[in-house]
Structure 1
Amino acid sequence: MSQKPKPLDETESARAWWGKELRNWRNVRRLSTRALGEKVHLSATAIERIEKNERSCNAALAGLLDDALMAGGALRRLWRFVEEEADRDSNHADNRAAHPDEDRFTAQATGMLATNPLVHSDRSLSPVERRAFLNLGLGGLAALAPGTFTDLLPRLGQPPLPKVVRPDDIEQVRAASATLASWDNLYGGGGIVRSSSAGQLIWAKGLLGVNCPTELESELLTAVGRLAIVMGASAFDAFEHDDATGLLTFGTWCAEQASNWHLRATAYNWRARHAIWCGAPDAGLTHAGNGLVRADLLSAREQSMLHNARARAWARMQNPREVLAAIGQSDDAFSKAKAGEDVVWMNYYDEAQHYGDTGHAAFDIALLPGQSSRMATDRLQKAVDGHTEAYVRSRALSRTKLATLTMATGDPQQAAAVAHRALDEVGRLRSKRALEDVKDLRKASAKYARKAEVAELRRRISTTVLA
């Protein structure tokens, strides 16, 4: 009889946590320690000892193991926490030698952070706290202090921060958010947004540790939180899901510290949409509900936006009755929207966006038994017709869904015509969400593959879009 594997305590250290994740991935791939070892030229014993945190590993080996297990970069990204912990332990040891009285806490922060709880040294955390700290995706301590989000960001040369936060500094952060959001809508989250945004957030987040006049604190937190949310939404579009989770959680923290209900609603909307996409509609429904906790403080468009998130969660759970109810609530809220009542970042939520969001929810139930595709088709078409050139990705997503639904309901010729226009726009994007929808379109077209227009469409998808 085989011996039961030793239970692993991931709370011991980041390295122990990484070892447990290695074992989890190995089990998911149904590989023995020997089989995995052969892939990276190690013995079964060596793999077992790495999993138990009894043998050293390094970044290069972590990368080889990630490739061998087809973990999609998950183990590589987790290894950053191991390196960060090693750096913290090294700094902790140096500081303890120089300042023996400062064994349990880091130095008191200045500026706005001085009003927050002290950031605990890693050695002072309980096992439960340590788990929360290590796992950004679950919030915990990472949701309480912006200093813990440094693991999300590359080590870049940081420009000097001002000694005191000024209105101009906050305006720069706002401008960065607006620019990045515009690029994201035009090009998708995987292009220029991903390559240019990290340094901006490093600088913006650094402002939270600078002395800030009391009257500017809320504005600063709102601006930094908005930038984090824009980046989180872009990371989601690029399928950098760990980064998306951390950034959106940080954005929520900023919104709540600023007591900004409008930013909070936006943060929870994106957290809901991200969770739903990642296969957790229950969590998405909870996030949408959290966003609506004080609906009386939100604008009509914000309420409509969050009801759309609820509709999409219910759709993924294949509950048509709740989907239609949520769409009805969204429609009712949107009908009460008034010009000029929204914060600037809600400008995107116009009639086209409303029809697109509700159309996507209707799409997810359109082909269920007893359901009609008419609502989804009508709303997606209105979205396509209404989106301007500033929202290429939104239009491409709605047009691809429309083509897929048209194909699935038996009109391949019309579907192919719509699909080619969608592919014209998808080809301009760096959006993995858009590519995922194209894959669904290709699957829907399989039963008509012998028709000339569909065969040509499938060739185009294979050679120019998914290549």
Structure 2
Amino acid sequence: MPQPEKELTPDGSPQEWFGAELRYWRKRNDGLRAAQLGPMVQVSPDVISKIEKGRYRCRRDLAERLDAVLETGGVLTRAWGMVFGDADKKRSDADSGRRQPADGAIQVRAGRMLGGETSAPLLGSVPPVDRRAFLATTSLAALTPIDLARLVAPAAPPELPKRIRPTDLDQLRHVADALHRWDNAQGGGGMVGDFASRSMQWAVRLLSVDCPAHLRTELLGGIARLGIVVGATHFDAYAHDAARVAFKIASECAEEASDWWLRAKTYSFLSRQATWLGDPDEGLTYAEKGLVRSDRLTPTIQAMMHSARARAFGKMHDVQGTLAAVGAADDAFARSNPIEDPSWMRYYDEAQHHGDTAHALFDLSIHADQDPGRAAQRFRKAIAGHSDEYARSRGISNTKLASLVMAKGDPMQAITVGHQALDDVGRLTSRRAADDLRELRSFAGRHRGLEQATALRRRITATLQA
């Protein structure tokens, strides 16, 4: 009987993160085993295992073969540039100023907030002291390449300074806030997504700029905040690989800044992304990680994390788990005090809370034959509470409500709600919103004898093709 695979620690070092990415793509291929994958890419199964555990330096040509066999779309080759591309040169430069241990062991952080420093023989890994500069010069390879000269964006990120100043931190916050507004109002596609990529490139480069010690924590927090916003934008546009890289950078910066709030927010999005991509078990794991030391989180942030748990349980069709998580989210939100929250949590108001928990209850109504009224009531509160500033959230809630009523209630009422949803969603560049429209069209297809349902389906098709 096969032994269970060793749990990986992707946050330990860039090399371990690369190994975790390899395992993720291997297991996506019908649970392909390392023993099967090795011969397919002309290496031994042991090499695959060691790369996944962060104990072996993957070659670029091997990364290219892995991409071809696993059909990743070039993810591992791009990530190779981030993890290994300039590592030899950087290590050589660093070695010139210090002596390395004879056995090749290096200090690898297990995370400033949750773990101590441990010594591990990670061949070819980058010492933690170099990791910030390493990310600054190489992580751009993992983002979607773009021709900056041809971009037309709502605004351009500022040029790099020679030394970090308080005004640079203000600009960093301004870019994150602006991108957050555009994403929520318009969706993550088109120019908004292009600007997100440029902004992330700029922010990562800031890590290599000389920074006074008293500004370092604020700089890391600002980059973590922007990474979350950029990741969310790419997630909405289904640029999932770029989103994952942005979230990983955000997580790394939040950890180093010892910012528990930003750390939780990052895990909240990683949870939502995993659940959306059909892996609610991984989504639940991320949500649980975000709730570590929940006593250090504000009640609003706790409610956000419990909502992520609820959405994962909902996708599992786990009735008791979902209801318990929704209850925990409600209890935390009832203790919410906006004065205690960071400014970037202001979006998580009553409308957002009801919308997030309604999504979890929607899955129970559709797939576990639970009362649709609970989800419908929450969707209605979300729709009523969202302003034009959050047109995407309002449109998605309207679409899900229409699908719920179309499947479980009065189709004529669902048609009215569906047209209201299209008024919002039709103006967005959101792949998530588009998929929800396809789901509504499918539910409307159950009422082919109803002329109004046919008209709604046609309008949805026209909107999707526009």
TM-score by length of 2: 0.76
The separation in 2 between residues aligned to 1:247 and 1:372, in whole angstroms, is 38
Deviation per CA, 1:36-81: give whole Å up to 9, x if none.
xxxxxxxxxxxxxxxxxxxxxxxxxxxxxxxxxxxxxx42555545
Q: Deviations over 1:362-392 (max 9, x none)?
A: 1011134451111101000110011011000
CA change 1:212–1:312 in 2 (3 A) is same
Larger-gyration structure (1/2): 1
Question: Residues of 1 paired with 2:132 and 2:222: CA distance?
Answer: 17
Gaps of 5+ in 1: 26-73, 97-101, 109-115, 119-125, 134-140
Partner of 2:228: 229
Worse-matched range after superposition: 207-216 or 335-344: 207-216
Q: Alpha-carbon deviation of 1:192?
A: 2.6
Shift of 1:345: 0.3
Partners in 1 of 2:77 and 2:354 — Cα distance?
42
Q: Give 1:18's match in structure 2, choosing from 27, 39, 64.
A: 64
Alignment check: 8 A CA contact 2:82 2:140 kept: no
Q: How far off is 1:436 after superposition?
A: 0.6
User: What is the distance in 2 between the residues matched to 1:263 and 1:13?
Assistant: 34
The answer to whether the Cα contact below 8 Å between 2:66 and 2:76 also exists between their aligned partners in 1 is no
Identity of aligned residues (%): 40
Distance 2:308 2:83 in 1: 37
User: Do the aligned partners of residues 282 and 83 (structure 1) sit closer, same or farther apart at CA in structure 2, a change above 3 Å counting?
Assistant: closer
Amino acid at match of 2:280: P
Following superposition of structure 1 onto structure 2, how do residues 120-135 of structure 1 map, counting pairs within 5 Å?
none
Q: Secondary structure at the match of 2:340?
A: coil
1:402, 1:360 → 2: CA distance? 9
* Other-structure match for 1:58: none
Q: Establish whether residue 146 from structure 1 lines up as the match of residue 135 from structure 2.
A: yes
Corresponding position of 2:291: 292
Q: Hey, what does 2:315 align to over in structure 1?
A: 316
Distance in structure 2 (CA, Å) of the matches to 1:80 and 1:368: 38
* Closer, same or farther: CA 230–107 of 1 in aligned 2, 3 Å: farther
Corresponding residue number in structure 1 for 2:165: 166
What is the alpha-carbon distance in structure 2 between the residues aligned to residue 226 and residue 410 of structure 1? 41
Q: Distance in 2 between matches of 1:320 and 1:144?
A: 46
Query: Match of 2:197?
Result: 198
1:255 to partner: Cα distance: 0.6
Q: How far apart are the structure 2 equivalents of 1:427 and 1:370?
A: 31
2:263 corresponds to = 264
Instruction: Output the CA distance in 2 between the equivalents of 1:203 and 1:222.
Output: 15
In the alignment, what sits opposite 1:343?
Answer: 342
Q: Provide, for residues 64-117 of structure 1, a one-character-per-residue CA deviation record: whole Å limited to 9, x for no partner.
A: xxxxxxxxxx4255554577899759xx6xx79xxxxx7586888xxxxxxx97
Cα offset, 1:24, TM superposition: 3.4
Shift of 1:295: 0.9
Contact 2:75 2:142 in 1 (8 A): no
Deviation of 1:262 (Å)? 1.0
Task: Kindly indicate whether the alpha-carbon contact (under 8 Å) linking 1:269 and 1:305 is maintained by their aligned counterparts in 2.
Answer: yes
Q: Distance in 1 between matches of 2:82 and 2:291?
A: 37
CA–CA separation in structure 2 for the residues paired with 1:260 and 1:414 = 46
Q: Distance in 2 between matches of 1:258 and 1:87?
A: 26
Q: How much does 1:451 deviate?
A: 0.5
Q: Distance in 2 between matches of 1:296 and 1:235?
A: 31
**For this pair of structures, how many residues does the alignment match?**
387
Q: Is the 8 A contact 1:14 1:85 kept in 2?
A: no
Aligned twin of 1:113 = none
* Matches for 1:209-224 after TM superposition, within 5 Å: 209-224=208-223
Corresponding residue number in structure 1 for 2:392:
393
Superposed displacement of residue 350, structure 1: 0.4
1:447-458 matches, cutoff 5 A: 447-458=446-457
Deviation at 1:20, TM superposition (A): 2.9
Stretches of structure 2 that go unaligned for 5 or more consecutive residues are: 1-35, 52-57, 98-105, 109-119, 150-156
The change in CA–CA distance for 1:78 and 1:221 in structure 2 (over 3 A counts) is same
TM-score (normalizing by structure 1): 0.76
Per the TM alignment, residue 433 of structure 1 is displaced from its structure 2 partner at its CA by 0.3
Q: State the 1:450 CA deviation.
A: 2.1
Q: Which amino acid aligns with 1:205?
A: V
- In the alignment, the residues of structure 1 paired with residue 287 and residue 80 of structure 2 have an alpha-carbon distance, to the nearest angstrom, of 33
